[in-house]
Structure 1
Amino acid sequence: MGVNVPLTFPPCTACAKSSCPMPAHCGVPGVRWMRDSSRRFLRHLSKKHAKAKEFTPYTQRPVELFIKHNLLPDLHEAFWFEVDEALGGTKAPLTARMGFLKRHLPGMKLLEVWPKLSAALLALEAGIPRRTIEAHRDIELGARAREEIIGSLGAHFGVFIYDRDKTKLARSLTSFDAFICAYTAMLSDTGRCLRAPSGFPEESGWIEIPHIGEE
């Protein structure tokens, strides 16, 4: 089942060390990967961005930095979005709740999905106009844009959806996100999502990312 909520916590929250060497010197795999990734990213920034935010392994996870540093920069600006941190202001309560719920869902396979990212990548594959993606979360224009996206995804990927269901999914952003989560989970089950790159600390959490251009 695809869920739009973090399934893991930032590396510092699970640390059991009696003393903290601080992120700059920490040897925990997740923190070490974040440190190296941030250094590589900062080296490629222009001088005007030299004071970019440092990584915070007590609110962020490696996967959030991977998306921010390695994936979003390769997309057109129209597809960019703010990456929510697992224990940031808007996600923290949801992350904590999922941590509780996981203990009561034994045997259920849960897959973390980011609907904003999946929708953008699937739209690229289906040739959906950028203006439609830009508008799909807009309060006034969103419903029409979401209906266009759902129709295009159905036509391009062969997903059958009743017309009345298309309308229902388009009217509600929450329902639309749930549809994108479910479809991305199906892509994952059929091997059509990206694998974590070599050296990535997968135990820290990974998300399902549609592998566009692949059948």
Structure 2
Amino acid sequence: MEKIKSTEKISADLAVHRIIEQIEAPLESVAFDVPLQLPKCVRCQLSCPGYEICQEPEIKWLRKFYVSRNIKKKPERGFTPYTERCVENYLRTELEEVFHPPHALGSNAAPLTARAHFIARRLQVPAIEVYPKLSLWRIGRALGVQKSYLRFHKHSISGEEIREAIISYLIKKDIAFIYHQDVKVLIASPHAFDAFICGLTAVLKFNKQVEPRPKGFPRDEQWIAIPKQDLVWP
């Protein structure tokens, strides 16, 4: 991580590409923990009738989702199709645990999303999208890690202790071999830890241990790599 920084001659983005190019083993994919597809209304090239009556599958899915949501919860809410995607809303409501991924082009995620798109377009291998908090939950539960650890691995006070415990689980179960100096980095940095979880999710995807696209989910809408609940470790 200390190598990824801008200098007078190269940008941090170029530094990322140079690190990727130095990997000797065959590279199957690169995992990102930010949206790799923009919301439908940003990428749409059609004449716009307004999202209230739009018949594009992604917008119809969002309308139906919010109608169902507003029956169950108050106050009623509308959606913003230029910041939201179907996948984030699915993750918030349709899984065994409550998650709160940010909008793809919300104020927090938008700069990171733009940077990811800039970096991904130069890659020579597929890019996959990961939500580390969900991946950690699925991986951790499959290993028997207690739920409180998985919910608070970024906590400002107990986060380092929790990350150390999770890494110990992975090492003891022979899921990962990690050098001691790298263990120290993963414990100290929640960002490095999330990057590690993204990489582990990419391995699971390669081994076909991720969830398929849900039935009825828009065909052209981005689906992310989610580890299966019933993981089978090699």
- TM-score (ref. length: structure 2): 0.80
1:166 correspondence with 2:183: yes
Number of equivalenced pairs: 203
Q: Which runs of 5+ in 1 are unaligned?
A: none
8 Å contact from structure 1 (residues 125, 213) kept in 2: yes
Q: Which residue of 2 aligns with 1:58?
A: 82
What's 2:209 paired with? 192
1:99 equivalent to 2:128? Answer: no
d(CA) in 2 for partners of 1:31 and 1:97? 25
CA distance in 2, matches of 1:131, 1:69: 20
SS in 1 for 2:94: helix
Deviation at 1:52, TM superposition (A): 4.1
Distance 2:54 2:106 in 1: 21
Superimposed CA distance per residue, residues 64-116 of structure 1 (whole angstroms, 9 cap, x where no aligned partner)? 11111212xx22xxxx44321110010111112222223322x3211101111
Distance in 1 of aligned mates of 2:32 and 2:85: 17
State the 1:17 CA deviation.
2.6
Instruction: State the superposition RMSD in angstroms.
Output: 1.7
| 1:150 paired to 2:167 | yes
- Structure 2 unaligned blocks of 5 or more: 1-29
Q: What is the CA-CA distance between 1:51 and the residue it aligns to?
A: 1.7
Q: Which has the higher contact order (CA 8 A, sep 6+)?
A: 1
Q: Which residue of 2 aligns with 1:36?
A: 64
What is the TM-score normalised by the length of structure 1?
Answer: 0.87
Matched, 1:6 2:35: yes
Q: Paired residue for 2:199?
A: 182
**Would the aligned equivalents of 1:60 and 1:85 in 2 still touch at CA under 8 Å?**
yes
From the two aligned structures, give the one with the greater helix fraction: 1
